[in-house]
Chain A
Amino acid sequence: GEDVEQSLFLSVREGDSSVINCTYTDSSSTYLYWYKQEPGAGLQLLTYIFSNMDMKQDQRLTVLLNKKDKHLSLRIADTQTGDSAIYFCAEAEGGYNKLIFGAGTRLAVHP
């Protein structure tokens, strides 16, 4: 079945770039998503990328997609303490409505 894998933890210094990685298995996924979850809150959509794109940039966020390796990454430039959260990668299963989530990467930003 479909599976989405992420590393569980990342620690970066304030002002550095953060790169969160994700691998997925469903080759038919048409859209891939990044969600952010702050403590005690729900999930907030950060960005998404269509499978025919290699890169998408949105202010401090850059999403890179390697379809051959089924690898997705989220780069956050100039990481701030407010970026500390759990980041979830998700794929739309087989092009349908259901999202399959990774376990989430906890990003810790320290001074």
Chain B
Amino acid sequence: DAEITQSPRHKITETGRQVTLACHQTWNHNNMFWYRQDLGHGLRLIHYSYGVQDTNKGEVSDGYSVSRSNTEDLPLTLESAASSQTSVYFCASSQGTAGSGNTIYFGEGSWLTVV
């Protein structure tokens, strides 16, 4: 079955280190998204991509970057990890436009702790 996988599922890192969270989907979806989930805020969009070589900033993009060199992967990089980036990170993908009812599928999440 097609799926979307994230790795690592759990990571502890130190302040100032560079961290990369991987996201891989096998549906051949054009659209991929990274969200972070924090108590009281729901899910907030970090970055998104509508296709290879396309990347866009979401509402909380500061301190994060993404690259899209192929259809299947959208890695999320924290350039210099900060304690405020301790969160649960969700990758998602979809084909077509959410506004047309196309389903957005979510990965299982990556728990990141910055100490």
Contacts and interface: CB of A to CB of B under 8 A. Distances in A.
Main secondary structure of the interface of B (DSSP, over half): strand
B97 interface: yes
Contact of B97 (A4, A50, A97, A102): A97
Interface stretch (B13-21, B36-44, B62-70, B78-86): B36-44
Contact of A97 (B48, B90, B107): B48
A81 B107 CA distance: 24
Contacts, number: 71
A98 B103 contact: no
B105 to A, nearest CB: 8
Interface of B: 31, 33, 35, 40-45, 48, 50, 58, 90, 92, 94, 97-101, 103-109
27 contacts: A4-B42, A30-B99, A30-B100, A31-B99, A40-B109, A42-B90, A42-B106, A42-B108, A43-B106, A45-B105, A48-B101, A92-B98, A92-B99, A94-B99, A95-B97, A95-B99, A96-B99, A97-B31, A97-B50, A97-B104, A98-B45, A98-B48, A98-B98, A99-B33, A102-B42, A103-B40, A104-B42
